[in-house]
Amino acid sequence: MNKKKKFLVFNPKKGFEIKEMESLLKNYYEIIETDVIDCVTVKIGKTDYEVVCDDEGLLKDNPILSFALSQHRALFGILVFTRHKNSEWIGLTDDEINEIKENTILVECAGGCNRYALVNKNSKGKSVL
């Protein structure tokens, strides 16, 4: 039985939101608003997290930067943060949600465009934007 778990969603137009849902592929596609997803492992704080994202986010007509991981690596569009165990996305604990929020920097888009992007504090001071 698939029960509801907590996931942290980052929408560049809204910021962070905690979602409780079943860990089903259809839910990820619906939240991310895409037909093609990918999963990227990102170290945030001391933990490796899985970030489910739009695999074609950069190819959209107006791609929206969501997470600047390094000078040469970025994610675009809506993101879902989770962990995995035994090939299953298992969601997040409250402590893990706090670790993600505390170890990323929310940057507001210049010019009042009402968009946000994340920068990983693990970038060790290197300019990523």
- The answer to the question of residue 114 being in a domain is yes
- The answer to the question of residue 128 being in a domain is no
Number of domains in the chain: 1
> In 3D, which of 36, 129, 18, 33 has the Cα closest to residue 82?
18
Range of the domain at 36: 4-123
- The answer to the question of residue 129 being in a domain is no
- The answer to the question of residue 29 being in a domain is yes
pTM confidence score: 0.87
- Give the helix/strand (H/E) hosting 65: strand 65-70
- The answer to the question of residue 27 being in a domain is yes
Per-residue pLDDT of the chain (129 residues; tens, 9 = 90+): 568 999 999 998 889 999 999 888 999 999 999 999 999 999 999 999 999 999 998 888 888 888 988 778 889 999 999 999 888 899 999 999 999 999 988 887 765 566 677 887 766 545 444
